[in-house]
Amino acid sequence: MSERVLPQKAAPAGTAVVVLGFTALCLSYLLNAMDRQVFYPLVPEIREEFGFSLDQAGLLATGFTLGLALTGVPAGYLLDRMSRKTIVVVSVVVYSLGTVAIPLAAGFVDMAVYRLVSGIGEGVQATAIYAIIGAYYFHRRALAAGFIGVAFGLGVFLGPVIGQAMAAASGSWRTPFYVFGFTGLVMALILLVTVPRAMSEAVAGRADAPDAADYDHVPDTPYNRNSLAFGVTSAVSGLVFYGFLGLYPTFLREQLEFAPGEAALAASLVGFGAMMALPVGWLADRVDQRLLMAVGFAGTAVSALSAYTVATGATAQYVLAFLIGTFASGVLFTNCSTVLQRSVRPEHVGRGAGLFILTYYVAAAVSGLIFARLVAGIGWQGAGLVQLTLLPLVGLAALALVDPRRMLLPPGMRVLGRR
């Protein structure tokens, strides 16, 4: 069965109802970002209490994304067949329970399991949200993804600052995890009440839909040349962005001797840069996304190289953290999440979103461990050069394999090489 089957046709929803539902989805993703980012600035305290090695810390910092990755394809498959709203609500409950369990850990193994559970919930939620907006905002999905990117960026900005403040005020690194976990359970109830079915279950491209058109030029399999090429760019993006995020506060505190508050602020400014996803999303519905992604890879490489080899002062690191957030998240994440949906037919939007989650977060899951091993072998500067500066060249090469003639492009989009 290749098409999504619903019990009955969803009734149209009013503008105010849709805005409320979309706002709730954005807020839930903001909390998702805060939840995952709070771990990074607290790594030194967790390492000190448990005696974790840098390898173990790096794996814990980014290994949770393996949970996100494992859910990508199965979640995408289910999202093309089941209620997306139900899947979103359940996923928020799952990652919130995983977060609450983290401070209860007795050692590395069970903490890694709790991080993995949290990642599974976050991955299903992310897949579902991108499937919802990809279907409901069919021709303006990149702009809609930009709003989700702003929510993510704001969460990345607020998570480390608020988490560090909670930990300092309570005298325990455990406090932020309890607070974010229980807040997530409340958010699940809010989603259940506010997200309209007409929005969450929309399927564009059907014969009775306003977006109906001929999609025969798009391959009938969701795993085609374009989607696989963009899968490579997503994997590179995940390796680079999470390789940077996972141990960046540790680098600032242990190598550059920043104070905890300074390191947390730098990590937060990555999120401020990620909020550039909104103007990037607006552009991504109008110009060739391959060009935007090329700019993202180049900007990330230059900014990361400067952060690990040149800048030593707080102000310089703040600026570079903002730029890395802009290029690696605002540009690359926003475009990777939407080009994969534009590489498949409308009835496969869930699997397009799932393929993005799979490729992006499988790479992200091992990025912290790889970066830690590189640090052990060639130092912080060498690791920054190899993983964060040279690796984006692979992403640039993958863009050359894409054939835009086989994609779903918005009317009026300007594509390089096409008249």
**pLDDT single digits (tens) 382-416:** 988 888 888 899 999 999 999 888 887 776 666 66
Reported as a single tens digit per residue, the pLDDT across 174-231 is 999 999 999 999 999 999 999 888 887 776 544 344 444 567 788 888 788 888 999 9
pLDDT of 208 reads 41
Q: Please say whether the beta carbons of 101 and 117 come within 8 A.
A: yes
Query: Residue 92: CB partners within 8 Å, gap ≥ 6?
Result: 28, 32, 121, 125, 184, 185, 187, 188, 191
pLDDT of 39 reads 84
Distance, in Å, from the CA atom of 203 to the CA atom of 2, rounded to the nearest integer, reads 13
* Alpha carbon 100 to chain centroid, angstroms: 21
Distance, in Å, from the CA atom of 126 to the CA atom of 31, rounded to the nearest integer, reads 12
Is pTM beyond 0.75 here?
no
Q: Scanning the structure block, which residue is given the tokens 């700019």?
A: 295
Distance, in Å, from the CA atom of 349 to the CA atom of 63, rounded to the nearest integer, reads 27
Residue 287, helix vs strand vs coil: strand
Length of the chain, in residues: 419
Residue 38, helix vs strand vs coil: coil
| 414, HSE (Cβ side, Cα atoms, 13 Å) | 5
Distance, in Å, from the CA atom of 104 to the CA atom of 91, rounded to the nearest integer, reads 21
Distance, in Å, from the CA atom of 139 to the CA atom of 384, rounded to the nearest integer, reads 38
Q: What is the chain's Cα-based Rg? A: 20
What is the phi/psi pair of residue 278, to 5°? Answer: -70, -55
CB contact burial 261-281 (16+ within 10 A = b; e otherwise):
ebbbbbbbbbbbbbbbbbebb
Q: Which parts of the chain sit beneath pLDDT 50?
A: 1-10, 205-212, 419
pLDDT of 396 reads 93
pLDDT of 209 reads 42
pLDDT of 138 reads 67
Q: Please say whether the beta carbons of 347 and 80 come within 8 A.
A: yes
| Helix residue spans in 80-140 (DSSP H) | 84-101, 108-136
Give the residue from 275, 273, 270 showing the smallest Cα distance to 244.
270
Q: Scanning the structure block, which residue is given the tokens 């399927």?
A: 203
pLDDT of 204 reads 57
Task: Report the first-to-last Cα separation within the chain, whole angstroms.
Answer: 37
Give the residue from 271, 256, 268 showing the smallest Cα distance to 307.
256
Distance, in Å, from the CA atom of 99 to the CA atom of 274, rounded to the nearest integer, reads 23
Q: Scanning the structure block, which residue is given the tokens 């996803």?
A: 277
Distance, in Å, from the CA atom of 106 to the CA atom of 164, rounded to the nearest integer, reads 22
| Helix residue spans in 140-276 (DSSP H) | 141-170, 175-194, 197-200, 225-254, 260-274
pLDDT of 139 reads 64
DSSP 302: H
pLDDT of 206 reads 42
> Which long-range contacts link 253-257 to residues 24+ away (Cβ below 8 Å)?
253/44, 254/44, 255/380, 256/312, 256/317
DSSP 346: G
